[in-house]
Each structure stands twice: as C-alpha cells, then as structure tokens.
Amino acid sequence: MEQILAELRAIAEETRLRIILLLARGELNVKDLTNILGQSQPRVSRHLKLLLDSSLINRHREGSWVYFRLSEKARNHSFVATVIGSVDEEDKLLKRDLTRLNAVKQSRSEEAAKYFASIAENWDSLRKLQISEDKVEAAIAEMLTGKLGNLLDLGTGTGRMLELLSARANLSVGVDLSHEMLSYARAKLEKAGLTNSQVRQGDIFNLPMESGHFDTVIIHQVLHYLDESLSVLKEAARVMAPKAKLLIVDFASHDNEELRSSHSHRRLGFSTEQMAEWAEIAGMKMVKTQSFPPDERMPGAANIQLTVSLWLFERN
C-alpha cells in the first residue's frame, strides 16, 4: 500500500504528471525538460528526484549528461500506465508540451546528422567492403528466430541492429562508448518509433547491467576493433540468462594488414576454432555458424577480400 501511495503522491502534481507524459514518449535529459516545461533547472530537478524516489522513472549517466526514462514498472506494471492512457491528447497543455518535445527531437536529430555526415564517407566504405548488407541482415534475422526477450547490442554504433531486431524484443538496449554515435542512434530510434529501445553510453568490457538480465546479445562488426575479444565475451556471458543466445558478426580470418592503418582494425578477423575456444572459456557453446564470401560486385571487394561470418552461441 505504501508504494501505491508514493506513486499517487508523485503524479498528483501538474509538472510531475507532465514529465511522466513526456518520458512515456522517450528519454530526455534535464536540459530537454527545462526547455519543454519552461521551468528552471533546480525546480525540474526537484520534481525528477520525487519521481525517481517513487520508482516511476529511471536515470542513467552518459558522460556529463543524465538521461531520464519512464521505468518499466510504470510503463507496464503500474496504475500509472492507465493514467498515461487516460490523458486527452487534445489537452492544451499536453499539446504545447508535445510541440516543444518535437522541436527538441528535431534539433537533436539535426545535430547528430551533422556529425554523422562528417564521417559518412569513411563509414560507407567500411560497410561496403565485403558483401551486401541485406544478405547479412537477412542471415541475422534467420539465426535469431522467434521472440528475443531482452535484447542487448554491444558496440551499437548507429543502432542499426536495434532497428532490425527491436520489433521482436521486449526490451532492446544498445551500448557504445561514443556519445556522438549514440546521439545519432537515439535520433534514428525515435524517428522509427521504437519505444522499447534505448541506448546507453558504457564500456562493453564492464557493462552497467546486472547479471543474467538478457535473453539475446549481439556483437555486430565490433570485435576486430578490440585487442581483448575474450574479455568482451566473458562480460557478455555475465549479463546473459541461462540458455540465452549470443550472435557475433565479424570478419573471418584474413591477412589484409592494410586495414590496421586504413580502418584501425586491431584483429585481422577470427577463425571458427578461435571463437569456439573463447566461447567455451566464457561458459557458452557454439550452436551454428554461417559465412559469406566477398561479393565481387561490391565496390572495393576485388581489392579487399573479406569474408563475413556469423557465430551463434548458447549460454550454459
């Protein structure tokens, strides 16, 4: 009963209800909320603290920024969800808040797109070295069949894997160290309306997640940038539930040393034997593999012969 009373007290105030209605549409930081609500930062922060204390919202830090999001409990397991659904979309105050929210999102999208445009040429060349992305993504969808439960994408970059798979997940989370990439990913997810998806700034060697929480983990074209791939697999296994699935997509072993200097690759691909050995050490078993040789029709494929491999593992 005390928890219900705490929730009632938390939302029984105009500004806090406005915050709940805004966070129901996606995560925002304090600056966003002050701009939308037209209130001072200290006042907004006080309201956020009350909502945090009642467990109706969650917060996470991304560098010097702090983002707030409606908690899973509030979204799915609380009478607050009923309150959110009962507010008239034509309410004048709500409409004004949503108009300002759209302006914030538009500004965020433009800023992220500007950054991404500055690296687009190099990014495109990386993604077109081997084969059609459509083939790889079709194989990913085929390997990860059915419902995905809680999904984690390590090294999410621009969030493409979240876009591809979130529709089959209860919750999907992307983790990356780059704030710029996360800004772009967040804008894409908002534009796609994927409200069950979120991105977090974090170190994939030391994830800010509790153990055994995820049913599906994907590591897409990340490991060849790292020196300690086994450590990442161990950390992935830590946050996986028993029988959870891990899908790794990366290059098969190759000898193109130029990629170390031209594209900052640390590892020249991986063999299936190496992956199987690492998986066993990390407490997983390999259940399926698939490889795609380079498509000679792709730009640059004739000069950079890279095979893309998919390895599917199951947590013990």
Print burial letters for 221-247: b (CB count within 10 Å at least 16), e (below 16): bbbbebeebeebbbbbbbbbeeebbbb
How sure is the predictor about 83, in pLDDT bands with cuts at 50, 70 and 90?
confident
Q: How many domains are there within the chain?
A: 2
Note whether residue 281 is domain-resident: yes
d(CA 11, CA 83): 9
Which CATH number do you get for residue 280?
3.40.50.150
pLDDT, one tens digit per residue, over 302-314 is: 456 789 999 999 9
Please tell me whether residues 162 and 33 are part of one structural domain.
no
Over 70: is that where the pLDDT of 47 sits?
A: yes
Please tell me whether residues 152 and 284 are part of one structural domain.
yes
Please tell me whether residues 19 and 72 are part of one structural domain.
yes
Note whether residue 293 is domain-resident: yes
Beta-strand pair 149-154/65-70: unpaired
End-of-domain residue from the set 70, 103, 136: 103
Q: What is the structure's pLDDT at 79? A: 78
Q: What is the structure's pLDDT at 177? A: 85
Please tell me whether residues 301 and 200 are part of one structural domain.
yes
How sure is the predictor about 115, in pLDDT bands with cuts at 50, 70 and 90?
low
Please tell me whether residues 163 and 290 are part of one structural domain.
yes
- Identify the residue with better confidence: 109 or 213: 213
End-of-domain residue from the set 68, 103, 138: 103
Q: What is the structure's pLDDT at 255? A: 84
Note whether residue 110 is domain-resident: no
* Reduced 3-state DSSP string for the chain: CHHHHHHHHHHCCHHHHHHHHHHCCCCEEHHHHHHHHCCCHHHHHHHHHHHHHCCCEEEEEECCEEEEEECHHHHHCCHHHHHHHHCCCCCHHHHHHHHHHHHHHHHHHHHHHHHHHHHHHHHHHHHCCCCCHHHHHHHHHHHCCCCCEEEEEECCCCCHHHHHHHHHEEEEEEEECCHHHHHHHHHHHHHHCCCCEEEEECECCECCCCCCCEEEEEEECCHHHCCCHHHHHHHHHHHEEEEEEEEEEEEECCCCCHHHHHCCCCCCCECHHHHHHHHHHHCEEEEEEEEECCCCCCCCCCCCCCCEEEEEEEEC
Note whether residue 109 is domain-resident: no
Both tokens assigned to 261: 């200097």
How sure is the predictor about 107, in pLDDT bands with cuts at 50, 70 and 90?
confident
Q: What is the structure's pLDDT at 124? A: 44
pLDDT, one tens digit per residue, over 119-178 is: 544 554 555 555 678 889 999 999 999 999 999 999 998 899 999 999 999 999 999 988
How many percent of the chain have pLDDT more than 90?
Answer: 54
Note whether residue 198 is domain-resident: yes
Range of the domain at 53: 2-103
Nearest Cα residue to 310 out of 294, 293, 288: 288
d(CA 211, CA 207): 10
Please tell me whether residues 95 and 152 are part of one structural domain.
no
Please tell me whether residues 70 and 136 are part of one structural domain.
no
Other Cβ atoms closer than 10 A to 304 = 19
Q: What is the structure's pLDDT at 40? A: 95
Please tell me whether residues 137 and 56 are part of one structural domain.
no
Note whether residue 174 is domain-resident: yes
Note whether residue 121 is domain-resident: no
Over 70: is that where the pLDDT of 67 sits?
A: yes
How sure is the predictor about 66, in pLDDT bands with cuts at 50, 70 and 90?
confident
Note whether residue 118 is domain-resident: no
Over 80: is that where the pLDDT of 242 sits?
A: yes
Please tell me whether residues 150 and 292 are part of one structural domain.
yes
Q: What is the structure's pLDDT at 171? A: 96
Please tell me whether residues 60 and 172 are part of one structural domain.
no
- Identify the residue with better confidence: 124 or 56: 56
Please tell me whether residues 70 and 171 are part of one structural domain.
no
Please tell me whether residues 15 and 79 are part of one structural domain.
yes
d(CA 242, CA 245): 9
End-of-domain residue from the set 57, 87, 103: 103
Contacts for 162-166: CB closer than 8 Å, 24+ residues apart? 162/189, 162/194, 162/197, 162/199, 163/188, 163/189, 163/192, 163/194, 164/137, 164/140, 165/140, 165/141, 165/216, 165/218, 166/194, 166/196, 166/197
pLDDT, one tens digit per residue, over 255-302 is: 888 887 777 777 889 999 989 999 999 999 999 999 998 876 555 544
Both tokens assigned to 224: 């060849």
Which CATH number do you get for residue 19?
1.10.10.10
